[in-house]
């Protein structure tokens, strides 16, 4: 199913990926439908109205779960009233986003893209608003016969979270794990924490990874391969900012 800017792919009977393939970021959001409420993991870039998509998929109240407060994951937050974010990034969401808007607009437009009709990149603003709930490691969110566990996985950002669905063995990984370039080089990142978070994810019996960007069809073995790469960089004293860009068969690490 394609809704103008968004592409909707069904993961299972009540789980949907909502993707922005038209942009170089290829960001993914995920709608998880329970019996009493739904969760929307991230809201994308804010280029188009994701609320129109989720309203077509469910009539249940939607609670937004934020993997991390970066512009390409919170762009549609203002379309919802129930917003959850890790406590370490509450301030970023509400008052002090860590990048100037000029830098965000540059990222938004740095590669050619056919934006939806009516969207003006020059008028783009990063969402700022109040969090309804603060997330902590180990929190459990009950959607009604469907439970989501918060896994605090800092490194890409201080309050980055993955979301673990034990019954289905789904891990929603945000910007921690995906096929592509993993970023740990800018000031608010921590390469060592990133590595420890990858190790934490590797302890889970994951059957399917639902990443924040790029390909959806990635094998769970990528967790071990990324962890091995980080461990080798640590051993070689390269796991520190400024070390550069390291290439692997289907991912990169930029530190």
Q: Quickly tell me which residue has 């789904």 as its tokens.
A: 170
Token pair recorded at residue 189: 């990142």
pLDDT digits (tens, 9 = 90+) for 196-211: 999 999 999 999 999 9
- Note the pTM of the prediction, 2 decimals: 0.97
Q: How far does the chain reach from its first CA to its final CA, in angstroms?
A: 37
The backbone region for 244, taken as left when phi is positive above 0, alpha when psi lies in -120 to 50, beta otherwise, is left
pLDDT digits (tens, 9 = 90+) for 143-180: 999 999 999 999 999 999 999 999 999 999 999 999 99
Q: Catalogue the long-range contacts made by 227-231 (C-beta closer than 8 Å, 24 or more residues apart).
A: 227/195, 227/198, 227/199, 227/202, 229/253, 230/191, 230/194, 230/195, 230/198, 231/195
Distance CA 232, CA 229 (A): 5
Instruction: Indicate whether 77 pLDDT > 80.
Output: yes
User: Per CATH, is 2-181+200-221 categorized as 1.10.1200.120?
Assistant: no
Instruction: Indicate whether 2 pLDDT > 80.
Output: no
Chain mean position to CA 133 = 18
pLDDT digits (tens, 9 = 90+) for 113-129: 999 999 999 999 999 99
Q: What are the structural domain ranges in the chain? A: 2-181+200-221
pLDDT digits (tens, 9 = 90+) for 91-111: 999 999 999 999 999 999 999
The percent of residues above 70 in pLDDT, for the chain, comes to: 99
CB atoms within 10 A of CB 83: 22
Q: 104 or 3: which carries more pLDDT confidence?
A: 104
In contact, 80 and 43? CB cutoff 8 Å: yes
Instruction: Indicate whether 1 pLDDT > 60.
Output: no
Distance CA 151, CA 146 (A): 16
């Amino acid at each position: 199913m394609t809704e103008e800017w968004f592409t909707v792919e069904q993961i299972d009977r009540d789980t949907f990926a909502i993707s922005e393939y038209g942009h170089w970021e290829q960001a993914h959001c995920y709608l998880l439908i329970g019996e009493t409420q739904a969760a929307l993991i991230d809201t994308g870039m804010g280029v188009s109205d994701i609320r129109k998509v989720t309203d077509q998929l469910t009539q249940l109240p939607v609670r937004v779960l934020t993997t991390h407060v970066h512009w390409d994951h919170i762009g549609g937050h203002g379309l919802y009233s129930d917003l959850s974010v890790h406590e370490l990034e509450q301030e970023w969401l509400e008052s002090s986003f860590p990048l100037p808007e000029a830098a965000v607009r540059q990222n938004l437009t740095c590669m050619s893209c056919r934006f939806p009709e009516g969207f003006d990149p020059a008028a783009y603003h990063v969402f700022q608003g109040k969090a309804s709930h603060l997330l902590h490691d180990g929190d459990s969110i009950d959607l009604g016969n469907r439970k989501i566990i918060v896994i605090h996985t800092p490194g890409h950002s201080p309050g980055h979270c993955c979301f673990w669905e034990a019954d289905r063995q789904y891990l929603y990984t945000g910007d921690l794990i995906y096929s592509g370039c993993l970023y740990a080089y800018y000031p608010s990142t921590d390469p060592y924490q990133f590595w420890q978070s990858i190790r934490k994810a590797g302890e889970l019996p994951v059957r399917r990874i639902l990443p924040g960007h790029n390909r959806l069809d990635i094998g769970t073995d990528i967790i071990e391969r990324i962890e091995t790469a980080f461990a080798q960089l640590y051993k070689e004293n390269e796991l520190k900012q400024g070390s550069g860009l390291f290439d692997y068969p289907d991912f990169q690490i930029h530190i």
